[in-house]
Amino acid sequence: AAAGLCPYRALLARRGGALRAFCGSVRGLAAGPETHFGFQTVTEAERREKIYRVFESVAKKYDVMNDSMTLGIHRVWKDILVHKMNPSPGTLLLDVAGGTGDIAFRFINYVRCVRERQLQQKIRHHQNLSWQEIAESYQEDKSKSLGDSQVVVCDINKEMLKVGKQKAQHLGYSEGLSWVLGNAEELPFDDDKFDVYTIAFGIRNVTRIDLALQEAYRVLKPGGRFLCLEFSQVSNSLLSRLYDLYSFQVIPVLGEVIAGDWKSYQYLVESIRRFPPQEEFKAMIEDAGFFKVDYQNLNSGIVAIHSGFKL
Amino acid sequence: KMAAAAGGLRRAGWRLWRGRAVLRCQLSPPHRTLQASAVLRRVSDEQKEPLASSSQQQFDSHPTNHQPEQEPQGSRPSYTGQGGQESEDFESEEQLQHRILTAALEFVPEHGWTAEAIAEGAKTLGLSAAAAGMFHSDGSELILHFMSQCNTKLSELLEQEQKLVQLGEAEKKPTDQFLRDAVQARLRMLIPYIEKWPQALSILLLPHNIPSSLNLLTSMIDDIWYYAGDQSTD
């Protein structure tokens, strides 16, 4: 029924003035409170749908656009996130809004390296054991290259997951990786399941951030860590002006040229401006029940990593 | 704005509750524990707990009233808050961190003074290994925690000796022997970790760790001299 109403509402939205105000009150009853989509004001239901459509259309060119918009620096940001996480083998990671799998792949690489180092150290320890003891230890030590670590990539958008799965196949990632369709505001997982919850450049697209944070708290094990990588507010005023210039003049043009989609990238830069600044977001995370909440600015605040623990 | 104010009030109320809980728990915390917590907070760049620290400072007026360093495990208030970790919330984050580090010490001979040892320690407490992310990844907090524990044990030892002398049950040792015995006792505490101790020292020499490690060293020396009879204030 909601789907049927949507195009009708969208039609009404195009008429301005008094008619809009009237329809606004009617819409309000049916579709939920008002919120923002970039710099527009829409209802929550509309926002969810619009965002779904944005990512549906950019899914195939998502990685290319990321590289061209950030001049490849987004790779460094994601590397820093995984380094900060410092996962040990056996960690269970939930990557929400992880669409094309960037964080998941980096996690797998990192854990593989740590695991190799662990195995090497074990061999060094074994140098004073007898041959028999060493052979016996091979049998108990299953020698999995990932050491039981697992990552679950969860995304609300089927297209993004599809692109992610194709990438995984292409790059040869198969072990320890799962793809789940799910909404960050209502995760299809049980309580106290994951060691780490990450959301990279996804939380500003969530309509009810507080619900997503509560869900994050719920699915994390006690002692588990919440990590969020997101665009944030730039503190330096000169840099801020250059950044604004770049965001509003260059990025939508790149979007049109590379992905053939001006509007989606217009939405993207607007949504960055609408996202709460570092301290406010930190307070929201604390409200969800996390402790030791802290943030680290990268590139003077263009991007920030927020971290919290479920204690 | 109203929502933000309400959120702020809620958080302030929450912290007040926590502060009160900490007050109730700690009857008279030893001088050393206060210093240890200050060191931990300085070493890592986490948020401060202004209310918790102010409540601790109230009890700082008894520097000579040493009590064995303990985590107030028996007297934690029971509170059914959110989630499964109610007791941890009201134990305060620092106390939980102390518990994790103490648990991590038994894994040091195997893993060294590293984040892995801290992760194993967290696991024995029933927490996820990701809790080790609360600490610096070089393992320095584990070493400093261990050192401050040793220093506390040393000052207890010295105080007990002093009591015996005051009660007349033991002879007062000449200064040089006193110092020798004190230093030897302190060094013996390293024996279980002696294999990995060089690693610990090298980590403590890293520039960002030097202030805290020097601080612990000088306070230990102060302690030894205090019990050796030196009453000067420098």
Domains and CATH numbers, chain A: 44-310 (3.40.50.150)
Give the torsion sign (CA, B220, B222, B224, B226): negative
Length of chain B: 234
Looking at the structure of chain B, the number of domains it has is 1
Q: Is residue B81 part of a domain?
A: no
Coil, strand or helix at A182: coil
**pLDDT for the residue numbered A157:** 92
Contact A311 B96 (CB under 8 A): yes
**pLDDT for the residue numbered A288:** 94
C-alpha distance from residue A265 to each of A3, A259, A262, A269 (Å): 25, 9, 6, 6
- Domain of residue B109, residue span: 94-228
**pLDDT for the residue numbered A122:** 79
Q: Establish, for the pair of chains A and B, how many residue pairs have beta carbons separated by less than 8 Å.
A: 84
**Residue of A306, A305, A286, A294 lying closest to A217 (CA atoms):** A286
- The strands making up A194-200's β-sheet, listed across from edge to edge, are A177-181, A150-155, A92-96, A194-200, A220-231, A303-309, A291-298
Q: Which helix (H) or strand (E) holds B79?
A: none
Q: Is residue B217 part of a domain?
A: yes
Give the torsion sign (CA, A230, A236, A242, A248): positive
Q: Is residue B156 part of a domain?
A: yes
Q: Which amino acid is at A253?
A: V
Over residues A123-128, the mean pLDDT reads: 74
pLDDT in tens, A7-34: 444 444 444 444 544 544 444 444 578 8
Maximum distance among all alpha carbons in chain B?
70
pLDDT in tens, A84-120: 999 998 999 999 998 899 999 999 999 999 988 888 8
For B:152-181, CB contacts with A below 8 A are none
A289: contact with B, CB 8 A cutoff: yes
**Residue of B155, B130, B231 lying closest to A194 (CA atoms):** B130
Give the residue with greater pLDDT, B102 vs B7. B102
Which of A191, A287, A294, A309 is the mutation pick for testing B, counting most B CBs within 10 A?
A309
C-alpha distance from residue A155 to each of A5, A82, A199, A271 (Å): 25, 19, 10, 19
Taking all residues of chain B, what is their mean pLDDT, rounded to a whole number?
71
Contact A225 B131 (CB under 8 A): yes
Q: Is residue B112 part of a domain?
A: yes
- Which residues in chain B are closer than 8 Å to A310, comparing Cβ atoms? 83, 85
Contact B130 A196 (CB under 8 A): yes
pLDDT in tens, A266-293: 888 888 888 999 999 999 999 999 999 9
**How far is A60 from chain B, CA to nearest CA, in Å?**
33
Of A22-26, A192-196, A300-304, B213-217, the range with the lowest mean pLDDT is A22-26
| pTM of the entire predicted model | 0.74
